[in-house]
Structures are given as structure tokens and as C-alpha cells.
Amino acid sequence: MEAVEKNKEYTIKIESVSSDGSGVGHINGLTVFVPQTAPNDTVRAVITEVKKSYARARLTEVIASSPDRQEADCPYYTRCGGCQLRHIRYKKQLEIKKAVVENAMRRIGGFNGFEAEEVIGAESPLRYRNKMMFPVGKTDGQTVCGFYAPKSHDIIPLGDCALGDELNTQIINAVLNYMKENSIEPYDEKTHTGTIRRIFTRKSFNTGEIMAVISAGTDNLPNAEQLVKRLRSISDRVVSIILNVNTGRLTLGNKNITLWGSDVICDTLCGIDFEISPNSFFQINPKQTEKLYRKAIEFARLDNNTRVMDIYCGIGTISLCCAKTAKSVIGVEIVRQAIENARENAVRNGIFNAEFYADSAENIVPRLIARGEQADVVILDPPRSGSDEKTLTAIIKSNAERIVYVSCNPATLARDTRLLAQNGYKLTRSAVFDMFPHTCHVETVVLMERQ
Ligand code: SAH
């Protein structure tokens, strides 16, 4: 068959969507990925990369449009790296995510004919984010703030991003105006000169309150009271204005100075209160998180005799939601600061049957099991890389009745559940959640029961 050529334009019929949100079609038997296309589109696309088993292409024209295609309701969509599925109707996005999980479970997990019980979408695919981070820099000599373009550090100046709160644009403009008035330069990543690096906002969905964080390479912003005045005049919802002192290479520095208002904002998940400081990890889409946690807890079938182990527990959100019903909970997490937050959150909510360990799962879980800690239910919520053999082997040894696996990456979920299935656990329940509408990300919860 004729080889597919780089830089040549082809007509491609799109058949499905891959896990990174690209449309998938074939030319002369070779798989081709084309971003910003939809199943049943017929498109023209120029090949940008050819590998042994696949090629990538850039969309040039939609010849015949899929019935699932919609006008992307964002003027930045084709230039911004944030969303991948915005040109596809929301209902279809959910079907695509379900299929991505099912494919991984069948192909990688060996669960033949696997079908997820349900896919749980968001009530609204917009304004769902409680946290937004906007880099500040220079484009064509102008100070700008917005988003990075895909795979680059070029800043696309942004109006409103409809995934976050409406006030973000006004917060950005207030900071840019303050910078102009006081001749403050943005930080330059290449020369390490300038001052302001990022604008970062957090929102409590429970109260509507907003924290505005200005990340800068100084602990002394000139005329900071002018900045405070500008930000406070936007809305009463702005309750906290923080200077994050960042002289290192990380996204945020470790030192925070409260310029005005509260040091933290408070939000609630499943009836538990959490205090969130600028650097804390907190789930991005709290409405969908509650649905996800409720499902995980339903799968766990807790009662006041159940001993739970929550591995990769973060600030203890799932642990504390379980603690109300269970006999006891052990939480394990590698980030020490997160474990401190988990302990504080337990006290704040009057929860005394939860214990937390700051250590890596692969290190502490085998030791906890070896010293005889019993867990009837193990909950796992690992990062994208999934769990590991040491942790999973210890769980298998522990003879836990039920394992509830929460995953943000279908490929590693499939790999890890395969190992559990080969060692006496049967996959009995599953649900797919859309935590990040318009993006290619997908979350899954499965229940494995000991046979
Ligand atoms: N369950 C929490 C957090 C899930 S995110 C929630 O719902 O909010 C995954 C967590 O795993 C992160 O907090 C990360 O710091 C932690 N983590 C990553 N690698 C780890 C490891 N090897 N051992 C323990 N925790 C780890």
C-alpha cells in the first residue's frame, strides 16, 4: 500500500476519538490522529508527523460535518491549550469518555466485553473550576495575562475563560492596571528579571467567596494598598488577597503574605468543611467531586464495623467523608503538608477515628499490613501514573474484602485492576465521571470484590 507522506494533504473520515481528545481515522491502513475533529466528520488534513504505527495531522477543512459537531463557544479555542473537545456536543463528549475507559479496560486490562455501568456528566459544562492560574508576561512588548498556547510558554491574552468564575477577568484587569500605574514589569522566565509572575484565583463553591493570589518575586510590592483597593472594589466576593512570594522555579512559592482579608477560604464536600490555603491541593470541580465520592462510598458499603484504608488520600477528603460511617480510617499520602491539613481537617470536623501517615504508599502500606493493620475496604486514588506492584501486592495480602479504585487515567487503572483480577478480586461495579467537561480528562471508579 502507498506510504503516508509528511506535509501532504489527505481526505480522512474520522471514526472515533482517542484518549488525548484527537479524532482518529485511517489512511491506507495507517492510524491518523487529527485534533479538533469529531466522529463521522470527513476532513482534509495535512500530515505533520509519520511514525511506524501511526501519524498525526493538522485539520485544514471540514468537508462533511459530523452531527455531533458544534460551534466551539470560545474565541480562544483553536489557540489555547486548555480544552480539546469543545467542538463536540456535550452528550457526545460523555459517550466518548465512556468509550475511552471501556477500550482501556478491554485492551489493557483484559476485561473482555467490559461496559461501564454509567457515565455521570456535569449539570453544566461551564464555570465548573474553583481554581485558575494565569501566567503574566510580555507579548509584542505589551504586558499580558492569559493562558499558555499548547506545548509552549507563549501567553495568549485572555478575556473570559468560561470554565472559571466570571470575576477572573476583572481580577486580571485590576492587576494589569495596577502594574501599569506603578510601572511594575512582569517576570521574564528567560532573563529572570521583573516582578509579577502569575495571578491565581481560588473560589469556594459553597460561599461564592474568592481568594486572589498574586505570585511575585518579591515580599514587598510597591503601593500594594492600590492593588488591594482595586481588587476589593470588584466585588464583596473577593474576601482574600494574598501575595505569594516566589523566587524559585516552582509554580507557587512557599511563603504567603496576606495583603488583605482572610488567609484561607473555606469549602464543603459531602458535609465536611475544609480550610484551603493558597498552596493546598483541593479537587478542582467540587460539584462532580461530591458525586464521585458518594459513588465510591456506595461501592465501599461502609457500616460502623468497617475499617477503611484510604491510599493516596491528599488532604483527607475521602477519608473524612468515610469516617462518619466507618469504624476507623487510615489515610496514606506522600505530601507532608497535605497530611498536616488532613489532621487539622479531622479536628475541625470533630472526627477522631481517622489516622494519617505521611509516607509513600509503596513504603508504608506493606509495613502497615505486615504489622497487622486490618482493612475491610481499601480505597485507592493514585495520580495518573497509577499504583505500583509493592502497594498492590500488600493490599492483596491484606485480604481486604473490597477495593474501591478511583482513577484519573484509564490506562493505569486497567493495568492495576488486571493485577488485582489475577489475584482473587472480581470487578463488580464501575462508573465513569466527567470532572473536566470540554477537556479529554476522564475519571473512573470501580469496585473489586474478593472472591
Ligand atoms: N484522594 C485525594 C487526592 C488524590 S490525588 C482527593 O480526592 O483529593 C493523588 C494523591 O496521591 C496526591 O495527593 C499525591 O500527592 C499523592 N501521591 C502521589 N504519589 C504517591 C505515593 N507514591 N504514595 C502516596 N501518595 C502519593
| DSSP per-residue codes, 389-421 | HHHHHHHHHHT-SEEEEEES-HHHHHHHHHHHH
The number of the ligand 1 atom at minimal distance from the alpha carbon of 289 is 7
CA of 312 to the centre of ligand 1 (A): 4
C-alpha cell at 448: 473489586
Whose Cα sits closest to atom 12 in ligand 1?
314
Catalytic residue of the set 145, 161, 322, 408: 408
CA distance 121 to 248: 39
Helix (H, G, I), strand (E, B) or coil at 361: helix
CA of 396 to the centre of ligand 1 (A): 20
Whose Cα sits closest to atom 22 in ligand 1?
360
- Contact predicate 251/275, CB 8 Å: no
Whose Cα sits closest to atom 11 in ligand 1?
312
C-alpha cell at 388: 505500583
CA of 415 to the centre of ligand 1 (A): 18
137: left (phi over 0), alpha (psi -120 to 50) or beta: beta
The number of the ligand 1 atom at minimal distance from the alpha carbon of 332 is 24
Whose Cα sits closest to atom 10 in ligand 1?
312
400 Cβ contact partners less than 8 Å away, ≥ 6 residues apart = 309, 375, 376, 377, 378, 450
Q: Kindly list the strands in the beta sheet with 255-261, ordered across the sheet, starting from the edge strand earlier in the chain.
A: 155-157, 142-148, 131-139, 196-203, 210-216, 238-245, 255-261
pLDDT for the residue numbered 106: 98
CA of 340 to the centre of ligand 1 (A): 14
Ligand 1, residues 130, 322, 334: which to mutate, most atoms within 8 A of Cβ?
A: 334
The number of the ligand 1 atom at minimal distance from the alpha carbon of 338 is 13
The number of the ligand 1 atom at minimal distance from the alpha carbon of 283 is 8
Task: Decide: pTM greater than 0.85.
Answer: yes
Q: What share of the chain is helix, strand, coil (3-state, %, to 5)?
A: 25, 30, 45
Helices (H), 67-122: 90-107
Three-point CA angle 201, 202, 207, nearest 5°: 135
CA of 212 to the centre of ligand 1 (A): 26
CA of 284 to the centre of ligand 1 (A): 14
The number of the ligand 1 atom at minimal distance from the alpha carbon of 310 is 1
End-to-end CA distance of the chain: 50
Q: At 64, phi and psi to the nearest 5?
A: -130, 125
- How many CB atoms within 10 Å of residue 264? 17
C-alpha cell at 177: 492596571
Per-residue pLDDT of the chain (451 residues; tens, 9 = 90+): 789 999 999 999 999 999 999 999 999 999 999 999 999 999 999 999 999 999 999 999 999 999 999 999 899 998 887 899 999 999 999 999 999 999 999 999 999 999 999 999 999 999 999 999 999 999 888 999 998 887 778 888 877 899 999 999 999 999 999 999 999 999 987 888 999 999 999 999 999 999 999 999 999 999 999 999 999 999 999 999 999 999 888 889 999 999 999 999 999 999 999 988 898 889 999 999 999 999 999 999 999 999 999 999 999 999 999 999 999 999 999 999 899 999 999 999 999 999 999 999 999 999 999 999 999 999 999 999 999 999 999 999 998 999 999 999 999 999 999 999 999 999 999 999 999 999 999 999 999 999 9
Ligand 1: residues with CB < 6 A are 281, 283, 312-314, 317-318, 332-335, 338, 360-362, 381-383
Q: What is the largest CA-CA distance in the chain?
A: 70
Q: Kindly list the strands in the beta sheet with 23-27, ordered across the sheet, starting from the edge strand earlier in the chain.
A: 9-13, 42-50, 54-64, 30-34, 23-27, 16-17
Verify whether residue 80 is a known catalytic residue: no
Q: How many residues does the chain have?
A: 451
CA distance 438 to 270: 25
Q: At 107, phi and psi to the nearest 5?
A: -75, -45
C-alpha cell at 256: 504567603
Whose Cα sits closest to atom 16 in ligand 1?
312
Which residues, listed in sequence order, are joined to residue 357 by a DSSP beta bridge? 332
